[in-house]
């Protein structure tokens, strides 16, 4: 292991801790999303602004890239005849493994799930009668193989409804655990971005929650290009770093999808790229390493293209960013596809070299989290605390429903 890699793996997570009182965690968003505060750091100075100013703060010619994933009603509750409640939290598809296909299934499907109160579910199937698309439907859940702390759960139902409709009718929006409250009816709208339309996430890409249709229209009027990508946010986004050093923390895998047209625009590179949210950042920065894999093995496909957690720190970067992106376009040509789809486990920590993203719109993140490491890697290992201290001293609201940031590098 070289000295650089060892230094990064030995980063102590307690160096990324700060005091976050519960009263500073926003339990609900503001009634008008765009009215929230915005901490603008231009790489040199901090400016105390509001989110509705974002379009005027982005230079004309900026490409604003956001995550179009939609949060599903991933939390299901079944009540046994004994009165015990079993909670099933859908994490990712197993059969069919394709997100689009699994939501279209009309009889059965299998998901990898977390199971709450699993000791009360010793055998047999769970079932409940629900109304889906106006029809009474019996939904069953059968537990299969255990995988780590999760289970394969097969759902089957009658009536011919799609699984998307089943979840919509029976499940709950899985709001973050740190809100310390139950899901409310308002969360169905509040915990979705206005541009979400691809089902698959179990957590929202929350930096985008502040945007409104009017703000997006203003971006258009100011010559800011708006583009989409997809990263389906997994429950691992809430997974705390429990080890002393980040080298012992295992990042979660997440599905990503990026259209050929966007990759070609990135190759053209005619303006700054501002990513909305850490999910967009991780997707965009993963593309370089996909291209690096293809440079070494042009015929790589499927699992072979997965971006591993430590790849940025262990793999010599032999090619330019444009060459890496061109490798992906060439791969799409060979496979006759218009969308790159893959998986990333990318860990972004201080010492990471950003190759695509020039600016980040994000929220304030939990202490000792991998998302805080990502921010520190962008603004500077010695800058993140200054920014968070400013926010704490100026009454900013924190976490998913809290206030926003616009960061640039110096």
HEC string for 134-154: CEEEEEEEEEEEEECCEEEEE
Q: Please give the average per-residue pLDDT across 184-209, as a whole number.
A: 95
Quick one: pLDDT at residue 241?
86
Q: Buried (b) or exposed (e) across 125-155, using 16+ Cβ within 10 A? A: ebeeebebeeeebebbbebeeeeeebbbbbb
Quick one: pLDDT at residue 369?
94
Task: Report the distance separating Cα 79 and Cα 287, nearest Å.
Answer: 44
Task: Report the distance separating Cα 341 and Cα 200, nearest Å.
Answer: 14
Nearest to 262 by CA among 58, 70, 63, 55: 63
Q: 45-78 pLDDT, tens per residue? A: 999 999 999 999 999 899 999 999 999 999 999 9
Q: 17-55 pLDDT, tens per residue? A: 999 999 999 999 999 999 999 999 999 999 999 999 999
pLDDT band at residue 238 using 50, 70 and 90 as cut-offs: low
Structural domain boundaries of the chain? 3-70+190-408, 75-171
pTM: 0.94
HEC string for 250-304: CCCCEEEEEEHHHHHHHHHCCCCEEEECHHHHHHHHHHHHHHHHHHHCCCCCHHH
Cis preceding linkage at 96, omega within 30: yes
Instruction: Tell whether the model's pLDDT for residue 334 goes beyond 80.
Output: yes
Which CATH code fits 3-70+190-408? 3.40.1780.10
Instruction: Tell whether the model's pLDDT for residue 155 goes beyond 70.
Output: yes
Task: Report the distance separating Cα 400 and Cα 233, nearest Å.
Answer: 13
Instruction: Tell whether the model's pLDDT for residue 232 goes beyond 60.
Output: yes
* Whether the Cβ atoms of residue 256 and residue 343 lie closer than 8 Å to each other: yes
């Amino acid at each position: 292991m070289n000295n650089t890699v060892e230094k990064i793996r030995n980063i102590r997570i307690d160096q990324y801790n700060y005091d976050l009182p519960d009263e500073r965690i926003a339990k609900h968003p503001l009634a008008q999303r765009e009215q929230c505060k915005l901490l603008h750091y231009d790489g040199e100075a901090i400016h105390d602004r509001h989110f509705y100013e974002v379009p005027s703060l982005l230079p004309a010619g900026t490409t604003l890239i956001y995550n179009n994933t939609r949060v599903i009603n991933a939390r299901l509750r079944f009540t046994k005849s004994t009165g015990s409640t079993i909670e099933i939290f859908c994490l990712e598809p197993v059969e069919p493994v394709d997100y689009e296909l699994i939501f279209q299934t009309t009889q059965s499907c299998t998901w990898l799930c977390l199971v709450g109160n699993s000791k009360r579910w010793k055998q047999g199937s769970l079932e409940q009668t629900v109304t889906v698309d106006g029809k009474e439907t019996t939904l069953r859940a059968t537990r299969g193989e255990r995988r780590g702390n999760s289970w394969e759960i097969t759902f089957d139902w009658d009536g011919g409804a799609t699984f998307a409709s089943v979840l919509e009718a029976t499940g709950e929006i899985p709001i973050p655990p740190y809100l310390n409250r139950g899901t409310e009816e308002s969360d169905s709208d509040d915990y979705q971005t206005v541009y979400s339309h691809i089902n698959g996430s179990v957590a929202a890409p929350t930096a985008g929650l502040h945007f409104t249709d009017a703000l997006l229209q203003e971006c258009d009027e100011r010559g800011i290009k708006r583009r989409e990508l997809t990263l389906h946010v997994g429950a691992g986004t809430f997974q705390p770093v429990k080890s002393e050093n980040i080298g012992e923390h295992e990042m979660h895998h997440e599905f990503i999808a990026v259209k050929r047209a966007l990759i070609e625009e990135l190759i053209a590179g005619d303006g700054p790229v501002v990513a909305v949210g850490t999910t967009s950042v991780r997707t965009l920065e993963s593309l370089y390493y996909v291209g690096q894999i293809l440079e070494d093995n042009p015929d790589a496909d499927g699992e072979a293209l997965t971006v591993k957690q430590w790849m940025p720190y262990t793999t010599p970067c032999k090619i330019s960013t444009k060459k890496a992106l061109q490798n992906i376009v060439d791969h799409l040509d060979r496979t006759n596809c218009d969308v790159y789809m893959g998986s990333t486990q990318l860990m972004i920590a201080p010492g990471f070299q950003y190759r695509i993203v020039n600016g980040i719109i994000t929220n304030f993140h939990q202490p000792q989290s991998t998302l805080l490491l990502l921010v520190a890697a962008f603004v500077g290992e010695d800058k993140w605390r200054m920014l968070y201290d400013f926010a704490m001293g100026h009454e900013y609201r924190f976490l998913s429903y809290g206030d926003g940031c616009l960061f640039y590098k110096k």
